[in-house]
Amino acid sequence: MDMNKEKWINEVMNSLDDVKSAEANPFLYNKILNKLGSGEIENTPMKLVWLAAASFALLAVLNFQAIKKSASVSNNRTEVQEIASAYNLVNTNSINY
């Protein structure tokens, strides 16, 4: 069994011996240098900037409303618990849900 395991390990280790390395386009390096050295700055369209700002504003408003609503829900739960305890409506089951 150990011999089969050793053979399998050797096959796996030698499986990449025949693989050739990837070759890049010979002009790729020159293209990259040309882009970096051109000095042109591409501006983002104002429409896209306003869209991003509006999206962030909408997200902030929705988060504020969610926080506000969760605070009111927790207040309602405490009020319900107070009423239940005042009228002795406490759950006495041994199973907690």
Handedness of CA 27, 33, 39, 41 (dihedral sign): positive
Place of tokens 């000095």: 39
Give the pLDDT score at 91.
66
Query: Domain spans of the chain?
Result: 44-90
Q: What is the mean pLDDT, run by run of 10 residues, along the chain of 97 residues?
A: 83 83 87 80 89 97 89 68 74 60
pTM value is 0.39
24 CA to centre of own chain:
32
Q: Which pair of tokens denotes residue 59?
A: 């997200």
Give the pLDDT score at 80.
73
CA distances to 11, 21, 37, 59 from 17, rounded to whole Å, are: 10, 10, 39, 53
